[in-house]
Amino acid sequence: MPIRPIVMVGDPVLHTPTKPIDEITDEIRALIDDLWETNDAANGAGLAANQIGVPLRVFVYDCPDDDGIRHRGLVINPQIETSPIPEGMPDPEDDWEGCLSVPGEAFPTGRAAEATVTGTDLDGNPVTVSGTGFFARCLQHETDHLDGYLYLDRLVGRNKRESKRSIRDRGWADKGITSWDPATQRAEDV
């Protein structure tokens, strides 16, 4: 169960919809083990397979809800339904969101208050995961990854402009930095 490098913004795998998993093989089980190890090492709330360069439709989550209750699990081939997504500028106090593929950055991001994800578990059994608040945000964020979107793609107005400026100022592309390794690095130091 190795800790894998996390692919960063700019890599095409993050903007390509992932492929469904048709069969739970030993390779899929090993992938999920690697997702857990990598997410835990990175102190993440969740991690999608394409964030470690694997274009398959699965994510793990280890995320508290607004009441502090920790939710930990995985969803294979997730589909999502949400309450309406608010229009306009997100709340600059409560709507902050970050991403392991955009290490050290966070911006207010508009998300639905409720989300329900359906899919299967590691044994192929149907699974339904529902959440509100921060946990709903996590479910939307991870499903977005599998659909080829980063949270940066959801930003609007000054938040979108500031995110572009921040990423440019970090100079990852200019330095040829395309991933970071949570086994040896901290996200805020990338």
Average pLDDT over every residue of 145-164: 96
- Answer yes or no: 142 catalytic: yes
Please say whether the dihedral angle defined by the alpha carbons of residues 120, 121, 125 and 127, taken in this order, is positive or negative.
negative
Which segments are annotated as binding site? 99, 141, 145
User: With 70 as the cut, is the pLDDT of residue 103 above it?
Assistant: yes
pLDDT single digits (tens) 5-64: 999 999 999 999 999 999 999 999 999 999 999 999 999 999 999 999 999 999 999 999
pLDDT at 1: 66
Choosing from 105, 142, 162, 188, the catalytic residue is: 142
Residue 122 · residue 76 · CB < 8 Å: yes
> Looking at domain 6-180, what is its CATH homologous superfamily?
Peptide deformylase (3.90.45.10)
Average pLDDT over every residue of 150-169: 95
pLDDT single digits (tens) 78-94: 999 999 988 878 877 78
Which segments are annotated as binding site for Fe cation? 99, 141, 145
